Amino acid sequence: MPDRRIAYVLKRFPRFSETFILNELLAHEAAGADVDVFSLLAPPEEPRHARLADLRAEVTVLKSVGKGRAGAPGAGDAALFSGKSVMEIGALQAKAEAIAERAAGRGITHFHAHFGSDATTVACLAARIIGGTYSFTAHARDIYHTYVSPEADAAMRRAKLSEAAFVVTVSDYNARHLLTLCPEARVVRIYNGIDLSVFRPAPAEARVPGQLIAVGRIVPKKGFDVLLAACRILKDRSVPFDLSLIGTGPEEAALRARIARFALGGQVRLEGALPQETLAQRMACAEAAVLPCVVTESGDRDGLPTVLLEAMAQGLPVVTTTVSGGPEIVADGVTGRLCAPGDAVGLAEALQEVLADRARARAMGQAGRRRAEAQFDLGENAARLRALLMDPALAVREAA
């Protein structure tokens, strides 16, 4: 049994789209760790994953803490609070104080946040108050998107990177980027873990010919508009296919309008968000997974989409782009196909190739499963992180 509690600081918990955090927490508990979760805001009203009921951790929601309180940056902290109003600064400071007070009574000395945004700011402040340490997992928008200005955002990120005991990130691509921002940071690459017992290959006879699956929030960086353009090309070429697009998001109405404009209603279905268990069942029927990620005008992009790892664990060939960590997980022609971002013609040709040769597609899927077993096992990857949370000094040895 670990002799140290694990404390997470999260912006909102639980969130339906952040299954990787729930899975990580459950893996810690399965290994015998005691876990505390501090949620800065109340969770959104949305469906819940069934496995949330298995979580034993105490979840403290700080929804109203610090409301209406004004604050000011401490000496040298202007970069940390870049773009924040005095009311926003006051709220973050108050939440940090509340977390520190609770932590002191629970024997907590280290905080871990997901995403290098407000949760990491509060983890940093709380660690200072108790004389402890903090770390965070950097993903995508939190390290690439322009919030204030490129210069101000870089300074804010450097402030968090330099003070953290260590920083975890989900791809080597991200790690290189973070080290350009802050060369002295202790950055450790740990891929998001996948529950290989939930996402496992289905029998070949379960696969539906021509069935494609795409999963993600309906936001610009996922490239779903490019996917629909590729689908129109497939339709014009009389390639038989059927696409299940699973997810919700602010661009959903625009995507539905595009489906109608391209006359793809017979081939493309928007199915909304699905629980993890149902998603695994949908993947079992598919012949390939596709996610044509792009880089947006603000610089936002995916770091390493968890859904691609899940698809590989399920034994599916994966079609994605060369954005960010795509080339790290997809060996072109071996575990799937890589395309240039924004290239609808290239994407259509890759999908047509995968659908045309079922034997080769199965071989790619089998290679992807082997890669998932070697690189993305939830138990092993969570154990690596847990060791660092128990002893942050280990990061000196693990750092990139």
DSSP 39-93: EEEPPPSS---GGGGG---EEEE-TTTTTT------TT-TTTTTT--HHHHHHHH
Confidence (pLDDT) at 394: 87
Q: How far apart are CA 79 and CA 157, in angstroms?
A: 8
pLDDT at 47: 86
Average pLDDT over residues 105-124: 96
With respect to residue 253, please indicate whether it lies within any of the assigned structural domains.
yes
The mean per-residue pLDDT over the stretch 286-296 comes to 97
Same domain? 231 vs 188: no
Q: 214 and 347, same structural domain?
A: yes
**Token couple for 283:** 């993947």
Whether residues 85 and 144 share a domain: the answer is yes
Based on the structure, what is the number of domains in the chain? 2
Whether 352 and 394 map to the same domain: the answer is no
DSSP percent split of the chain into helix, strand, coil, nearest 5: 45, 15, 40
55 falls within a domain: yes
Judge whether residue 2 has pLDDT over 70: no
Q: From CA 108, how far away is CA 98, in angstroms rounded?
A: 13
Q: pLDDT value at position 396?
A: 74
In the numeric block, the tokens 């940090």 are attached to 96
| C-alpha of 303 from chain center | 7
Both 54 and 142 in one domain: the answer is yes
- Distance from C-alpha of 217 to C-alpha of 103, rounded to nearest angstrom: 34
Q: pLDDT grade, residue 1 (50/70/90)? A: very low
Report the alpha-carbon distance of residue 251 to residue 222 in Å, rounded. 11
CATH of the domain at 353: 3.40.50.2000
Tokens of 168: 């975890």
In angstroms, the CA 5 to CA 112 distance is 11
Mark 153-188 as b/e (b = at least 16 C-beta within 10 Å).
bbbbbbbbbebbbbbbbbbbbbbebbbebbeebbbb
Average pLDDT of the chain to the nearest whole number: 95
Whole-angstrom Cα distance, residue 266 to residue 243? 10
- Asked if pLDDT for residue 157 goes beyond 80, the answer is yes
Q: In this model, does residue 4 exceed pLDDT 80?
A: no
Per-residue pLDDT at 184 = 96
318 pLDDT more than 90: yes
**pLDDT score for 3:** 54
Is residue 1 assigned to a domain?
A: no
Q: Contact 306/49 with Cβ under 8 angstroms?
A: no
pTM for the model stands at 0.93
Residue 394 located in a structural domain: yes
The lowest-confidence range among 78-82, 124-128, 238-242, 274-278 is: 274-278
Structure confidence at residue 393 (pLDDT)? 87
- Same structural domain, 119 and 257: no
- 132 located within any domain: yes
Q: Among all chains, which residue has been given the structure tokens 């990120």?
A: 157
Task: Looking at mean pLDDT, say which of 181-185, 201-205, 324-328 comes out highest.
Answer: 181-185
303 within domain boundaries: yes
Please indicate, yes or no, if residue 68 is contained in any of the structural domains: yes
Q: Which helix (H) or strand (E) holds 103?
A: helix 86-104
**Percentage of residues of the chain with pLDDT beyond 90:** 90
Domain co-membership, 165 together with 189: yes
236 and 119 in a single domain? The answer is: no
Q: What is the pLDDT of residue 400?
A: 58
Verify that 188 and 267 share a domain, yes or no. no
Whether 71 and 175 share a structural domain: yes
Residue 198 within any structural domain of the chain: no
Give the domain extent around 349: 204-375
Count of CA atoms in the C-beta half-sphere (13 A) of 278: 13
Same domain, 224 and 340: yes
Mean pLDDT of the region 166-186: 97
Is the same domain home to 44 and 89?
yes
Angstrom distance (rounded) from CA 390 to CA 126: 17
CA dist., res. 266 & res. 245, Å (int): 13
Distance CA 143, CA 254 (A): 27
Task: List, in sequence order, every beta strand (DSSP E) within the chain.
Answer: 6-12, 35-41, 58-61, 110-114, 133-138, 166-169, 187-189, 211-215, 242-246, 268-272, 288-291, 318-321, 336-339
